[in-house]
Chains A and B, each alone.
Chain A
Amino acid sequence: MDVRTSLAAQGYAATRPAVGANAVPDGPAGALAATARDFAATVAEGEAVAKAAMVGQADPHALVQALAESQLAVETAVTVRDRVVEAYQEILRMQV
């Protein structure tokens, strides 16, 4: 009874085209969108493994690994968001 951590990510990737039909723009916006989707996939994977572990289908190693990845992904997202908001407020404070 071993849940592969990549299985959830693969399943997520397979259903992705059905959900988001929008074409990804090139350049920084596209990269940002890809990063956000990557983040969502990592968190979804963590949730899937956590659920599987709760019903005894995943071993604790997979659980720890997936949760650590989710935690790191959330921390990265929060940090980046803080920096963006900070930069935005800096612009708002500018004298015109």
Chain B
Amino acid sequence: MSTGDLFESSRAATSAMRAQAQRLRLISENIANADTPGYRRKTAPFEQVVEQGRPTNEVRLGPVQLSRAELDRVHAPGHPLADESGHFSGSNVDLVIEIADAREAQRSYEANLKLYEQTRQMSRSLLDLLRR
């Protein structure tokens, strides 16, 4: 029961869905902190899951990395964090990029969900052959 190509593909799709959900969590953290002074944008790479030294077909999110891009300089002379020139460091989150990233995560999640549904339907139709 535990082996077989259909099970393998449904597991791969599930791991990808989990990874996309984690990616979406990072994106919403970025958007939530878009106005936080000194906040650096979080990203995480995708990587293959390795079990017992052998790479599997599943995917997962790697360690979170902070963006090294220049922080946004905000001009606000009355702000408590402002320096002599009246500027302080904001976050380096670009909302347009985050929204595009979120949309991409959503599309990828949908693709994997579709594949999961198809895998399930295929195994069910195979089983239906026995019932006739």
Interface residues of B (CB under 8 A from A): 1-2, 7, 10-11, 14-15, 17-18, 21, 51, 120, 123-124, 127, 130-131
Scan residues 76-94 of chain A and give those whose CB is less than 8 A from a CB of chain B.
76, 79-80, 82-83
Q: Is B14 in contact with A80, judged by CB distance below 8 angstroms?
A: no
Number of interface residues of A (CB under 8 A): 24
Q: Is B2 in contact with A79, judged by CB distance below 8 angstroms?
A: no
B interface secondary structure, majority: helix
Closest to A41 in B: B2
Q: Is B127 in contact with A38, judged by CB distance below 8 angstroms?
A: no
Q: Is B2 in contact with A42, judged by CB distance below 8 angstroms?
A: yes
Closest to B129 in A: A79
Convert A54-90 into 0s and 1s, putting 1 for each residue whose CB lies closer than 8 angstroms to a CB of B. 0000010110110011001101100110110000000
Interface residues of A (CB under 8 A from B): 2, 5-6, 9, 35, 38-39, 41-42, 59, 61-62, 64-65, 68-69, 72-73, 75-76, 79-80, 82-83
Q: Is B123 in contact with A72, judged by CB distance below 8 angstroms?
A: yes
B11 interface neighbour in A38, A41, A65, A79, Cβ under 8 Å: A65
